[in-house]
Structure 1
């Protein structure tokens, strides 16, 4: 199969989807990033894509609604790429704004797949339906038309499917395929990879990136309600201090500076082995985003048998039910109590239950094989 992915080369999750197929010699896989995504990708990322046999296609022209001439030119570019590389499938790996490329499906003459991830179909696209303006009315019509063209729509959570069915008339039944994880092996992490400040220390990990949607300020606000012995015994670890979202990083740095009685370590972004090492040695993992799908970071914590605390969102019960500590409301005191429970109470039964769930429902190889079957069915 020859497949083009509209995807972000900086996204570990996007690359996990693509690399499953690029590793197979019978497939040729190409990635079309947005211009700013390509410009922000490091040399290490370019090297990693090359090693994974994922080939770049130069970014297309802007999909412009007010300047539709530019969009028509981009469609012509894409048509030529499809012909030159004998493309069978175009797969969009995040719905906003790239779902709109399906508007050219009949002209392009290939199968179109869409994967939604959470915020795209739960927040940003539905905002065009909630807020009335002439522009939103036009954008809403374009998204409705685009979604109707997809041969297959895949979501990473049940809530996303509910939102899609609420807002769009589609010709296919959406299916659940989660990004999933590769169950970690012991040789993928080592205490030698731990930062010196964490060696022989108890710590609690907040693994999500620096973005306002991940709501790190809520987590920090709960620290004031923690018992003194936990503040004295634990380091609280945040990641992605080198994020390009400097305004949000600065906000978090300012909030950290105010926590004079709590030790907080703000680390730069981590590679996969470094991240696995943090999971392996953490005493608990916390994430409280404002919107979410089926987070890989949560599944990774479950795979390492770590107590996992999630916010009060509608996560899929089959995966994030039994074995996961869930908040009932956005209450800092409740979060502080969950942290206390995670590090002071017996959790072996809970984390073992979570591990079995992720083993059965979040295994990357199993999930990607489902997608492979969908590809093959559409190309028959």
Structure 2
């Protein structure tokens, strides 16, 4: 018997492309979706948007006005189920404070890896833990995050692994890359290394530059392209200064912020994607690259190994310049391993991290919670 459509309230940042995709897919399933966000941003057509941004949140009065807007926004929505797509976020906290039920919180990484990523102060950590303990269900993108949340006092019985993966209708192998390479000012025979993570010190782009200096001595046509979404302006200036110091101006590019379609083309245009985050959940950008058939060089984090396999679906490296250099050169030299990463990476993401099938898990959980509330 077909279940009736639900009224789903999504609590998440509208500026995130992942929020846009999730809302669109839930709507495609036939549900009535409302997005309550602490910021401005785009919504898919047909999704009701309740933005809580104000003209200025500076100072104590500005912060209070913003909190009041978030309070009003979350309170105004009556739904069958509430889903917060990030634990450490103001609309998530407000939904808990207002007693919205049934309430599902999805943990993605930095929202609960407080000590690793230096996120939140004591009050923010306490509120996040409290919301997780009091909500009805928690989803996590990795078993490591599940254990982290369990240590907060969340019962194992209400923790579920849901990998917010890849929309294969957007991210897939694409043969035409000339336009993107032209936009970046890169020749067709260049070896492009693409860094898709946010341009911030946490993601170790400075180390990538130091590694590039050695890589170009062996592969003179190597080019490193940095994504600039949500960039730290001061950090970019430091990167540009270091690029000049290393005489790498001809080998470094900064790609402007891109939409989903442009990111798909960027992944396909790259010969290698690099991610050196010292702490992570299961990064969507890495999975998107694999879905496009682009091998990924990633930090050797133990938690990755529950999903990715070294030299089969991903290539692990220590976060040290010499190890990064060695890995890049080996990958570009070993065509057999390179092709293995391409084919097995695509297969893994299709099987384990399809956004539509993973969203169905959230849908099933929502129906279950509603039936038993």
Equivalence for 1:31:
35
The verdict on how the C-alpha distance between 1:72 and 1:179 changes in structure 2, with shifts beyond 3 A counting, is closer
1:149-201: CA deviation from partner (whole Å, max 9, x where unpaired): 11110111221111111123347431111111123356796533433412413
Q: 1:10 to 1:195 in 2, by over 3 A?
A: farther
Query: C-alpha offsets along residues 87-116 of structure 1, whole Å, 9 cap, x if unaligned?
Result: 11221111113342343254x4x2111011
C-alpha separation between the residues in 1 aligned to 2:34 and 2:125? Answer: 29
C-alpha distance 140-186 of structure 1, shift in aligned 2 (>3 A): closer
Q: 1:308 to 1:69 in 2, by over 3 A?
A: closer
Measured in 1, the distance between the counterparts of 2:224 and 2:174 equals: 25
Aligned-partner Cα distance in 1 for 2:103–2:176: 38
Q: Give the TM-score, by structure 2 length.
A: 0.83
Which stretches of structure 1, 4 residues or more, deviate above 4 A after TM superposition? 65-76, 124-129, 138-141, 185-190
TM-superposed CA distance for 1:127, in Å, is: 5.6
Distance change >3 Å, CA 151–CA 67, structure 1 → 2: farther
Which segments of 5 or more consecutive residues in structure 1 lack a partner in the other structure?
130-134
Structure (1/2) with the larger helix percentage? 1
Where does structure 2 lack aligned partners over 5 or more consecutive residues? 1-5
* Residues 195, 245 of structure 1: alpha-carbon distance in 2 compared, 3 angstrom cutoff: same
1:292 corresponds to which of 280, 300, 303: 280
1:282 maps to which of 270, 273, 281: 270
Counterparts of residues 288-327 of structure 1 (less than 5 Å): 288-321=276-309, 322-327=312-317
Corresponding residue number in structure 1 for 2:208: 219
Q: Does 1:143 align with 2:128?
A: yes
Q: 1:360 aligns with which of 339, 351, 354?
A: 351
Distance 1:164 1:237, change over 3 A: same
SS of the residue aligned with 1:121?
coil
Q: Report the equivalent of 2:188.
A: 200
CA distance in 1, matches of 2:203, 2:327: 18
Q: Distance in 2 between matches of 1:9 and 1:187?
A: 28
Specify whether residues 221 and 59 from structure 1 end up closer, same or farther in structure 2 by C-alpha distance, changes over 3 A only: same
Match of 1:260 in 2: 247
Q: Provide the secondary structure at the position in 1 that maps to 2:262.
A: helix
- Distance in 1, Cα, partners of 2:324 & 2:63: 48
Match of 2:105 in 1: 114
Q: CA RMSD in A?
A: 3.2
Distance 1:152 1:360, change over 3 A: same
What is the distance in 1 between the residues matched to 2:289 and 2:85?
A: 24
TM-score, normalised via structure 1 length = 0.82
Other structure's SS at 1:56 match = strand
Match of 1:158 in 2: 143
Q: Does structure 2 retain, via aligned residues, the 8 Å contact 1:193–1:277?
A: yes
**Residue 14 of structure 1 pairs with residue 6 of structure 2:** no
Counterpart of 2:333 in structure 1 is: 344
Matched, 1:81 2:68: no
